């Protein structure tokens, strides 16, 4: 559907609302919080039509399933792991230490202890894009929740990756899986943070548990804004857009500055998919950047060399002269990306998302620290926090030249 550029943001906002699902999911979350494994078994029977015999997969089950993986797929997964490790191993932030007015100040980056990853059925590559990052960050324990197959098993590739990265796997999906990881059950340990994609019910559950556990964000449907130069083969651009439209409910936007070229790409796209998408015309290449920054999409794909990609500020991942699907599997950045316009304030998942900074303050020169403390007293009194000020005054009185 062609729309004016001014209508794009409003159209996309109407396509990604989560509000109507919150109340539907609240009861599921409460059931799991209050009844633990019993609720997981009952809800899995209701939603997945699977009778669970054990919530967690054993090591023997994982090994049996992992043995079914095609060697070529194993090689591809190993290459994906190497690519993700090579890039993200360089993203870990360093600790910081300095000395100021008699204080030694340190900010240490420490990993959270346990994370939970939600892996939708069939999306086994998500474990590479989350679990590998967590291991790079130094997370002690990683658990995975994923919907069971009719026989109660999981994807063999997921089993292979679970053994490769050393994670525990639980055969439970949907909103109930998010609640289990957030609150813990008899079988599922409580985690410190939940990450990973999922359908609208999974995302609604993440909203509801976000006051009890960290989340990576609330993810809407997959998004791609493709900006194409008329010199690029229309079929190449159409294939890139069709790839992301392959996801259920995906949002695609095609942008160019030639009406004839737009029609040609649309014709090629019609040969590949019936999925709905939006298209719009701009006056010149620079406007493509403006459209991307306004929409703030999960994926931005730039086909052409005359678009100033360095000016793109709001996007999860930018693919330049390459298909966006490379990011989904092997390019190196995680494919867990901000959606629904949240690229305005957050970005691609990295090891930093599995770490937290802790500040340490230690006086090492009492005379200098006392002078700094006197300024703190002034601020505390002015704000009306007398006991704050008194605690500092008492500390100052205890300082003697021998402490200097």
Q: Which residues contact 312 (CB under 8 A, 6 or more apart)?
A: 289, 292, 293, 300, 318
Distance CA 309, CA 289 (A): 7
Q: Give the count of beta carbons closer than 10 Å to the beta carbon of residue 401.
A: 7
What is the C-alpha to C-alpha distance for residues 273 and 241, in angstroms, rounded to an integer? Answer: 10
* Catalytic (active site) residue 212: no
How far does CA 306 lie from the centroid of its chain? 30
Candidates 31, 223, 298, 335; catalytic one: 298
Strand-strand pairing, 251-256 and 355-363 = unpaired
- The DSSP call for residue 2 is B
Active-site residue among 157, 223, 299, 335? Answer: 299
- d(C-alpha 56, C-alpha 41), whole Å: 12
Coil, helix or strand at residue 320: strand
- Whether 299 sits among the annotated catalytic residues: the reply is yes
Q: Are 300 and 227 in contact (CB under 8 A)?
A: yes
Place of tokens 């990011």: 327
Q: How far apart are the first and last CA of the chain?
A: 73
Pairing of strands 96-100, 317-320: unpaired
Catalytic site residues? 298-299
């Amino acid at each position: 559907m062609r729309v004016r550029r001014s209508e794009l943001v409003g159209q996309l906002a109407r396509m990604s609302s989560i509000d109507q699902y919150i109340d539907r999911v609240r009861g599921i979350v409460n059931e799991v919080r209050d009844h633990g494994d019993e609720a997981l078994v009952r809800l899995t029977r209701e939603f997945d039509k699977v009778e669970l015999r054990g919530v967690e997969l054993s090591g023997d089950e994982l090994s049996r399933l992992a043995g079914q993986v095609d060697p070529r797929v194993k090689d591809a997964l190993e290459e994906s792991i190497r690519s993700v490790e090579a890039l993200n191993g360089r993203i870990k932030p360093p600790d910081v230490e300095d000395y100021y007015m008699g204080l030694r100040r340190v900010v240490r980056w420490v990993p959270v202890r346990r994370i939970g990853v939600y892996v939708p059925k069939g999306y086994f590559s998500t474990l590479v894009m989350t679990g590998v990052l967590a291991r790079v960050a130094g997370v002690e324990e990683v658990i995975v929740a994923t919907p069971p197959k009719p026989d109660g098993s999981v994807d063999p590739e997921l089993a292979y990756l679970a053994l490769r990265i050393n994670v525990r796997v639980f055969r439970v999906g949907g909103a109930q899986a998010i609640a289990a990881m957030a609150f813990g059950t008899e079988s599922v340990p409580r985690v410190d943070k939940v990450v990973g994609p999922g359908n609208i019910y999974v995302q609604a559950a993440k909203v509801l548990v976000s006051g009890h556990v960290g989340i990576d964000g609330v993810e809407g449907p997959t998004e791609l804004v493709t900006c194409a130069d008329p010199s690029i083969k229309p079929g190449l651009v159409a294939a890139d857009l069709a790839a992301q439209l392959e996801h259920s409910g995906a949002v695609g936007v095609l942008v160019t500055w030639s009406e004839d070229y737009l029609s040609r790409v649309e014709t090629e796209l019609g040969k590949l998919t019936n999925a709905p998408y939006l298209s719009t015309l701009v006056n010149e290449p620079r406007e493509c950047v403006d459209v991307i920054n306004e929409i703030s999409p999960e994926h931005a794909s730039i086909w052409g060399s005359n678009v100033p990609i360095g000016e793109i500020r709001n996007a999860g991942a930018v693919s330049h002269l390459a298909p966006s699907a490379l990011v989904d599997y092997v390019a190196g950045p995680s494919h867990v990306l901000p959606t629904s316009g949240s690229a305005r304030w957050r970005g691609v998942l990295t090891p930093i998302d599995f770490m937290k900074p802790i500040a340490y303050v230690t006086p090492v020169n009492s005379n200098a620290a006392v002078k700094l403390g006197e300024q703190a007293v002034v601020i505390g009194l002015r704000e009306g926090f007398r006991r704050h000020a008194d605690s500092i005054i008492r500390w100052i009185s205890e300082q003697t030249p021998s402490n200097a």
